[in-house]
Structure 1
């Protein structure tokens, strides 16, 4: 009886039902689109941050910043100008990025903390190679004669000569080859050759970043010399997005030897056992491992600016408040329309009560109709929301993300930041990412819940109105 009466009434009042369903549908569709766009911007932000910290890394641990290292740490180069020798001279200086290191034992200590699944150390180095030659000048006597000054010194001057030196600056990262799932190389993909083997802890092998390899014309099998040590290029890596962590990657042990940093690391990459408890793990490490700075992906997200950050804030703030306002308005309109429909059915409900229907049965009938309207509206809203999300994904508008400059010690250990900004300084960079609007199962479940909630709220309005009707008063009114 309930469903028969329900079906008949919905057919008879299909226009009113469609108006109520349409109002709910618009609100639900807006919620789906806003949530999907917000998820898409979160995905875009993860893509940007991945270029800094790599897959699987939840946070990094570095040495806490200290006062200026002073002139003693500045690179110094000394060359001899020997008579008429104009042969080429060169000198390498390999320095720890930022001059801030931690004992390698800190990696074990961090890995033993509660909530840490794995920890791996890395050493970021900066290499300055100066090469060139001195050209001896030619002494010419004044006036072309053989005059001499007092004391027997010849009169004249040196003309020509000078020095021509080139400076090559690049970054090298020492990575723990026994832990390929963590570390700076995880933010890149091997596009040629191979990556390190677990047994190559002290091998003279290197993986080159694709951009640097193109610049220097390196390929698999090429050799590169660092501080007199020749390394074979075994692979070419391409950063997934943005800049790579370094120009060259070599085994950690070799990097420690080159940088005179035995048993030292600059960055510890940490993977949390539970990604939902990263803040707790961060607090534990800071408490139990003093003198360190712990940086999470959330900390880096605060440094992202540009249109991606603006759009993200808009979706998180204005977009969600707008969705909430539209939903509240849709629920109120649905409730008022349902209540108005009950008022127009006074004689109908009065007759039903006179025939023995209790107020609760009448209320359930009204609520049932409203819930069905809500489900219809939910279906329409999901369809509209999916269409809107698909349109955003199809268009794929481009967003700009700018990563602010900062000192070394963040994810990636400073990367290939160079010396123009000072040792250990990471320069700002701008990336472009395409915005998508993925619709998650959670969003669909939320939409269905909103549809049911909208129907219940509308039914509550109408049911309350119907429950207050008295048969005698209802029968005296003309519809």
Structure 2
């Protein structure tokens, strides 16, 4: 009886039901589009942030910023004198980037903190190689008087030095020492091995290296090639391509080898941290800062604040204006649906009064009104999901390009290279183009269904309250 009456009433009032469903559909569609665009913003921002820190990294720990260094931190190059004043000479200087290091034991202290799932250390280095040759000049005798000077003294020879000089080339590149025993954490995880292989867990002190694809192309390196760093040869076992297009370093070597090259035994520049729960990142950051003094902790959220450009602007709009606009439109849709349902009840006074006179109880009449409203809500939900999916598909199909400018985070943690104080990902000041997509998650669809049911219940509550107050006498007054 309930469903038969429900079907007949909805069929008889198709236009009114469609108006209510359309209002709910617009509100639900807007929520889906805003939610999917916000998710796309998040993906785009994650892609940008991956150019500054490794996948899976929730925060990094670096040494607290120190006052400007003295002159003894500047690289010095000394060359031996040659008897003939010529000959090829070269000198390598391997420096810790930022001149700020932490004891390797800091990794264990951070890893022991509550809320930390894993921690791994890394050492970021900068290598400067100066090579070239000196050439001795030639002294050319000039024409002089040839006579003796006053007092019989021999006159000084006249002439000039021709030729000679120096021709030196400066080669500057970055090297990152990575803990090969924990390959799932650190900056190398943001790159994909495209040729060869990555490090094995047993190569903790092996003379092997992984080269960034751009650097390998520039230096014509391939797997099996040998690169020399400060007189030590490293075999290239793999070529890595950064997912974001900007590599963390030109070369990656095992952490122990990097420490040996820099003379920084048991030292790291950065501790990469993965939290047990993304919701606890803030509390974990506070705990590390309290229990490990003299350090700076930078989270991905801190780094996100340094991203500017159209991506940042659009993300802010989606997070603030879009969210509130969705709430206002959805509230308006619910209110309109409730008012229309209540108004429809007012026009059905004779009907509900007669049903009560025939023995229908108030609860049954109210249930009938709520049932109709819920069906209207579900129809609106189906229409809203369809409109929302169409809007999200349109955004993805058009794929508007957003720009993200990276910079402003340097110096946050010792290294001064990259927002997370990590390896020298020299992305500061760079502009990245990111295509915006609007992925629709199953949770968004579930949210839309929930909103549709909620809208129907709210509308039914308005109408049901009015219907429950009707009396059979109300129907008799309307009889002409």
Per the normalisation by structure 1, the TM-score is 0.94
Instruction: Note the residue ranges of structure 2 that are not aligned, 5 or more in a row.
Output: none
Give the corresponding residue for 1:443: 444
How far has the Cα of 1:478 moved from its partner? 5.9
Give the corresponding residue for 1:176: 179
* 2-structure distance, mates of 1:147, 1:168: 53
How far has the Cα of 1:474 moved from its partner? 2.9
Task: Please state if 1:127 is matched with 2:136.
Answer: no
Give the corresponding residue for 1:202: 205
Give the corresponding residue for 2:106: 106
Give the corresponding residue for 2:221: 218
Partner of 1:250, secondary structure, is strand
Task: Please state if 1:298 is matched with 2:301.
Answer: yes
- Tell whether the 8 Å contact from 1:282 to 1:294 is kept in structure 2 after alignment: yes
Give the corresponding residue for 1:352: 355
Deviates more, 1:205-214 or 1:113-122: 113-122
Partner of 1:197, secondary structure, is coil
How far has the Cα of 1:464 moved from its partner? 2.1
Task: Please state if 1:391 is matched with 2:391.
Answer: no
Give the corresponding residue for 1:362: 365
How far has the Cα of 1:197 moved from its partner? 1.6
Give the corresponding residue for 1:474: 475
Give the corresponding residue for 1:415: 424
How far has the Cα of 1:135 moved from its partner? 2.0
* 2-structure distance, mates of 1:459, 1:64: 60
Change (3 A) 1:144 1:89: farther
Give the corresponding residue for 1:421: none
Deviates more, 1:384-393 or 1:463-472: 463-472
Give the corresponding residue for 1:269: 272
How far has the Cα of 1:81 moved from its partner? 5.5
Instruction: Note the residue ranges of structure 1 that are not aligned, 5 or more in a row.
Output: 418-425
Give the corresponding residue for 1:325: 328
* 1-structure distance, mates of 2:219, 2:154: 55
Partner of 1:271, secondary structure, is strand
Q: Deviations over 1:181-208 (max 9, x none)?
A: 1122111111101111222122111110
How far has the Cα of 1:411 moved from its partner? 3.0
Task: Please state if 1:308 is matched with 2:317.
Answer: no
- Tell whether the 8 Å contact from 1:184 to 1:412 is kept in structure 2 after alignment: no
Task: Please state if 1:186 is matched with 2:189.
Answer: yes
Task: Please state if 1:430 is matched with 2:431.
Answer: yes
Task: Please state if 1:52 is matched with 2:57.
Answer: no
- Tell whether the 8 Å contact from 1:83 to 1:136 is kept in structure 2 after alignment: no
- Tell whether the 8 Å contact from 1:37 to 1:438 is kept in structure 2 after alignment: yes
Deviates more, 1:38-47 or 1:143-152: 143-152
Q: Deviations over 1:172-227 (max 9, x none)?
A: 00111111111221111111011112221221111100011111111111111111
Deviates more, 1:145-154 or 1:6-15: 145-154
How far has the Cα of 1:347 moved from its partner? 1.3
* 2-structure distance, mates of 1:412, 1:69: 17
Change (3 A) 1:10 1:144: farther
Matches within 5 A, 1:88-167: 88-143=88-143, 153-167=156-170
Change (3 A) 1:144 1:177: farther
Partner of 1:75, secondary structure, is coil
> What is the aligned counterpart of 2:285 among 254, 259, 282?
282
* 2-structure distance, mates of 1:148, 1:98: 63
- Tell whether the 8 Å contact from 2:176 to 2:423 is kept in structure 1 after alignment: no
Deviates more, 1:87-96 or 1:132-141: 132-141
Change (3 A) 1:210 1:82: same
Q: Deviations over 1:353-389 (max 9, x none)?
A: 2222232222221111111100110111111111211
Change (3 A) 1:35 1:167: same
* 2-structure distance, mates of 1:96, 1:148: 62
RMSD: 1.8
- Tell whether the 8 Å contact from 1:146 to 1:154 is kept in structure 2 after alignment: no
* 2-structure distance, mates of 1:334, 1:475: 29
- Tell whether the 8 Å contact from 1:48 to 1:241 is kept in structure 2 after alignment: yes
Q: Deviations over 1:12-64 (max 9, x none)?
A: 11111011101100110110010011011111111211222212221111101
Per the normalisation by structure 2, the TM-score is 0.94
- Tell whether the 8 Å contact from 2:123 to 2:423 is kept in structure 1 after alignment: no
Give the corresponding residue for 1:27: 27
Partner of 2:206, secondary structure, is coil
Change (3 A) 1:315 1:85: same
How far has the Cα of 1:80 moved from its partner? 4.6
Give the corresponding residue for 2:71: 71
Change (3 A) 1:201 1:477: same
* 2-structure distance, mates of 1:453, 1:396: 33
* 1-structure distance, mates of 2:382, 2:368: 21
Task: Please state if 1:37 is matched with 2:37.
Answer: yes
- Tell whether the 8 Å contact from 2:215 to 2:250 is kept in structure 1 after alignment: yes
How far has the Cα of 1:394 moved from its partner? 2.1
- Tell whether the 8 Å contact from 1:170 to 1:416 is kept in structure 2 after alignment: no
Give the corresponding residue for 1:86: 86
How far has the Cα of 1:296 moved from its partner? 1.1
* 1-structure distance, mates of 2:259, 2:457: 67
